Structure 1
Amino acid sequence: MTAKEIQLQLEKASTPEKRDFLPHFFKTGKGGYGEGDKFIGVIVPDIRKIAKANKSLPSNELTDLLNNEYHECRMCALFILVEKFKKANEADRKQIVDFYLAHSHRINNWDLVDLSSKDILGEYLIDKEDRKILYKLAKSELLWDQRIAVIATFAFIKKSDFTDIINLSEQFLSHKHDLMHKAVGWMLREAGKRDKTVLINFLNKHHKVMPRTMLRYSLEKLTAEEKAYYMKK
């Protein structure tokens, strides 16, 4: 199987409705965060099926697929990486993570980040004491690197490990982009679902300076009274 053949499989699974809808949804117009991105028009479940059927794709073809101009081809490449990571030994997992980070400029939309970061970088770092790479990514000038760092912490949050999401959330309090406000708010909400005290302590310390979108996302699982209290403040 080659990257070109996988693209043909994706094209067969496309629909005119999705091909018309997705460019608008992902802000591909001039000045949008997805400016210039192209879509074949395939739904995520179908992309996953194609990825699972082609999870033995060689590295050179995987590189071509990730460098493809079409969004769904890049997503398929990332799903294949996730499948490879699940079955890999420690040495191979390190190689997959290195490959993933070396191509982070091609993981260039929020859904591509969200569907891969926690399952590759996050899972790799769960048992690692050294998580400096998260903070290196957080300081990157590339928005997608920054979002990768935040979403990777979901893997830790599921294990009730909240240190990194709290640290990163504090670093991003003054971030200008709405996509980062949403990502941080989402992860704070997930932390709060597992340990409400962690979220409340963060809110008590930072709610007055949190971007409104970040605050609103983080509050979604709190009571109506708690939401009103923090939004009013």
Structure 2
Amino acid sequence: MTTAADILETMRAMEDEAQRRVLGRFFKTAPGEYGEGDRFLGLRVPQTRGIVKECRLDVPFGEIEALLRSPWHEARLAGFLLLVEEMKDATPRRGEQPVSRAARRGEIARFYLAHARCANNWDLVDLSCYKVLGPWLSLPCADGGMPERGVLDALAGSDNLWEQRIAIVTTMAFVKAGCFADTLRISDKLLGHPHDLIHKAVGWMLREVGKRDIDTLRGYLEANVGRMHRTTLRYAIERMSADERGYFMRR
């Protein structure tokens, strides 16, 4: 068994003061910014991924929880990446029944949701949510029924910025499978949000829809461009032609 203390010890041996300062600026940790007070050891993401790879499936939930509640950003990232690995292991292999390991998927997803607010910066959300919650919501429960995707609506209606971002970015899993309804529904709930990190996330997911079905994106924009923040719109139309981008920006 690998403990949270083992992982943190490995991380502390890799501390980088110069990179710590860079990350503090990049993730907006100054007073009044969205990452205020977050602390960094100075590890790059590939370094954290390497640590996780060495101990994947060997860290129990209690130790993952200790990582998720750590004051160190990289430790929390390691905790969420460990949950991604757990969900990969609980996803049916080719030839297995879709209900295989369904109970384990539910356990992992419920643990993730219970600790969602520990994902208190955009990278922690974006590198984990759709890879943990996506498979759970896309595959049947042990009884053959499907998990209720209304959990995303509840997250979108939260008073917590990070849970709201989890709601929209999780829909990436469905977009990759060619299903767009959840993205459009959650976008509707978040179009009036005041924060730039939600404007960008909604626009990003809409752009992903457009990469797979441009007519669906065009139809959504025609119906909603008037109530859409300019940042969301710019992200959504990024891959369109200059003429079409100009058309929507003038609407």
Change over 3 Å in CA distance of 1:129–1:61 after alignment to 2? closer
Determine which of 150, 153, 173 is the counterpart of 1:155. 173
Determine which of 135, 144, 148 is the counterpart of 1:123. 135
* Aligned-partner Cα distance in 2 for 1:212–1:195: 22
Q: Which moved more, 1:117-126 or 1:12-21?
A: 12-21
User: Does the 8 A contact of 2:4 with 2:66 survive in 1?
Assistant: yes
Determine which of 172, 184, 187 is the counterpart of 2:190. 172
Q: How many residues align?
A: 233
* Aligned-partner Cα distance in 2 for 1:169–1:61: 35
Structure 1 counterpart of 2:143: none
Q: Which moved more, 1:4-13 or 1:41-50?
A: 4-13
Query: Is 1:114 aligned to residue 129 of structure 2?
Result: no
> For structure 2, which runs of at least 5 residues remain unmatched after alignment?
91-100, 140-145
Determine which of 145, 148, 155 is the counterpart of 1:137. 155
Amino acid corresponding to residue 82 of structure 1 in structure 2: V
Structure 1 counterpart of 2:82: 80
Query: Is 1:99 aligned to residue 84 of structure 2?
Result: no
* Aligned-partner Cα distance in 1 for 2:87–2:3: 20
Amino acid corresponding to residue 202 of structure 1 in structure 2: Y
* Aligned-partner Cα distance in 1 for 2:84–2:17: 28
Query: Is 1:10 aligned to residue 19 of structure 2?
Result: no
**CA offset at residue 12 of structure 1?**
2.3
**CA offset at residue 11 of structure 1?**
2.1
> For structure 1, which runs of at least 5 residues remain unmatched after alignment?
none
* Aligned-partner Cα distance in 2 for 1:87–1:105: 24
Structure 1 counterpart of 2:73: 71
Q: Percent identity?
A: 45
User: Does the 8 A contact of 2:129 with 2:170 survive in 1?
Assistant: yes
Calculate the TM-score normalised by the size of structure 1: 0.97
**CA offset at residue 122 of structure 1?**
1.4
Q: Which moved more, 1:10-19 or 1:91-100?
A: 10-19
**CA displacement, residues 136-173 of structure 1 (integer Å, 9 cap, x when unaligned):** 11111011111111011000000110001101111111
* Aligned-partner Cα distance in 2 for 1:180–1:146: 8
* Aligned-partner Cα distance in 1 for 2:3–2:60: 8
* Aligned-partner Cα distance in 2 for 1:198–1:13: 46
Structure 1 counterpart of 2:222: 204
Amino acid corresponding to residue 60 of structure 1 in structure 2: G
Amino acid corresponding to residue 161 of structure 1 in structure 2: C
* Aligned-partner Cα distance in 2 for 1:225–1:126: 37
Structure 1 runs (4+) deviating above 4 angstroms are none
Change over 3 Å in CA distance of 1:51–1:129 after alignment to 2? closer
**CA offset at residue 129 of structure 1?**
6.0
* Aligned-partner Cα distance in 1 for 2:59–2:200: 33
**CA displacement, residues 189-226 of structure 1 (integer Å, 9 cap, x when unaligned):** 00000000110001111112210100000011111111
* Aligned-partner Cα distance in 2 for 1:208–1:105: 32
Secondary structure of the equivalent of 2:233? Answer: helix
CA RMSD of aligned residues (A): 1.0
User: Does the 8 A contact of 2:136 with 2:147 survive in 1?
Assistant: no
